Amino acid sequence: MSSRALRQPLSLRLTSNIFLAFWCIVAVFPILWITVMSFKSPVDAFDSNALNVIFGPATLAKGQGISILDIIAGIAIFWGTILVSTKTLPSMVRSYTKPGQAWFGWVIGVLVVIVGFLLVFFVILPAVLGVLNPIFGPLGKDVLGLTTEHYKTVWIDRGFSDNFQNSLIVTTGVVTLSLTVGTLAGYGLARSGSTLAFWILIVALIFRALPPSVLVSGYLPVFISSAEWLAPILGENAPTLYGKPFAVIAVLVAINQPFTIWMLRSFFQNIPSELDEAARVDGCSHFQAFRRVIMPVMWPGVITTGLFSFLLAYNDFLVTSLLLDAQNQTMVPAIVGMFNRETTTTDQVVAVAAAVSITAPLIFLVLIFQRQIVSGLTAGAVKG
């Protein structure tokens, strides 16, 4: 709103900001609330009085709580992490990597931030505060019931880190494969005005609209007996596709393809075709033009589309729960399993802690890629 002519009266700005604040509360409240619940003893977590859930008297009574000093330190570290990942990280990545290898810098940077946060928050902070709390008297006294035992149960006793690893494998596979296949197709579709291209898009759209449960249950018998029907082709080494992460990756990529190609096609349409024509005049083939000229200007679009692929793979329940066995189980089916088991209230709070755990990486991801998402969409991904 740079222009004077468009300046708004104070009253309007005030109302606008109040509504915005209201929306922000609505947006975060459920997530914030399950986070609070996950740190309480079962009695507190499911109390019908909101204040009891927040202050956790039963948790405090068991001698598990934090002091005002702890709270201040915790908030400071959170804030620091946010600052680092939104301000310092992008500039560091930019200055330390060559333009073509930015993605590599991002991967390293993100890992460093996450590991650093976990180290500071769960190891250094408790040690430092253990010393400081007794010194500060009333400020160091426990006021808020809070326990991390449920997280300990989830990650250590229940082996949730295995599920985390499996999720990581599946999501990485899906994002990589889906973007590779998708950018090629998106480019081809954007640059071809043929009727065939149109019908591919329409059929893809109808595929996008299909109820997935119909397709997925058809895979199961075929995947389980794959060693038998693949044997004539592959002989002895025919694999059983059921329970194999790569098979699930292929299915998820295929299911995600319609959305990916639509989205990437719109991105490519916004890149003037004069650009590749010029490259072609210089003697490049279509593939060379695509690789050398088009891809470098496509990063915002690829990141945005990649994020959607990531969300789909990371959040998927239907495919992963049916086609993976317990040894390769990803996080979402594992959590749903925890809720569906014959559970006690304690188990439920443990499951809540698991639910919060799987939301945390998503939050980090958005923190880091937010700028790219918005600029990607602004670049005109979505023309309809």
CB of residue 130 to other proteins, shortest distance in Å: 7
Compare residues 143 and 184 and give the one whose CB is closer to other proteins.
184
Compare residues 175 and 189 and give the one whose CB is closer to other proteins.
189
CB of residue 90 to other proteins, shortest distance in Å: 12
What backbone torsions phi and psi does residue 312 show, to the nearest 5 degrees? -60, -45
Long-range pairs of 154-162 with CB within 8 A, sequence gap ≥ 24: 154/350, 154/353, 154/354, 154/357, 155/357, 158/338, 158/350, 158/354, 160/331, 160/334, 160/354, 160/357, 162/329
CB of residue 291 to other proteins, shortest distance in Å: 12
Compare residues 88 and 345 and give the one whose CB is closer to other proteins.
345
DSSP 39-101: TS-HHHHT-SSHHHHHH-HHHHHTT-EEEHHHHHHHHHHHHHHHHIIIIIHHHHHHHHS-GGG
Compare residues 72 and 119 and give the one whose CB is closer to other proteins.
119
CB of residue 342 to other proteins, shortest distance in Å: 4
Residue 39, judged by CB atoms within 10 A of its CB (0-12, 13-18, 19+), counts as buried
Compare residues 104 and 203 and give the one whose CB is closer to other proteins.
203
What backbone torsions phi and psi does residue 65 show, to the nearest 5 degrees? -165, 175
Compare residues 89 and 253 and give the one whose CB is closer to other proteins.
253
CB of residue 68 to other proteins, shortest distance in Å: 21
Compare residues 101 and 126 and give the one whose CB is closer to other proteins.
126
Write out the H or E segment, with its range, that includes residue 144.
Answer: strand 142-145
CB of residue 42 to other proteins, shortest distance in Å: 4
Compare residues 114 and 184 and give the one whose CB is closer to other proteins.
184
CB of residue 101 to other proteins, shortest distance in Å: 25
What backbone torsions phi and psi does residue 46 show, to the nearest 5 degrees? -105, 20
Q: How far apart are CA 268 and CA 305, in angstroms?
A: 12
Q: How far is CA 184 from the centre of its chain?
A: 24
CB of residue 58 to other proteins, shortest distance in Å: 10
Positive or negative CA dihedral for 93, 97, 102, 104?
negative
Q: What is the largest CA-CA distance in the chain?
A: 77
Residues 6+ apart with CB under 8 A from 312: 174, 252, 255, 256, 259
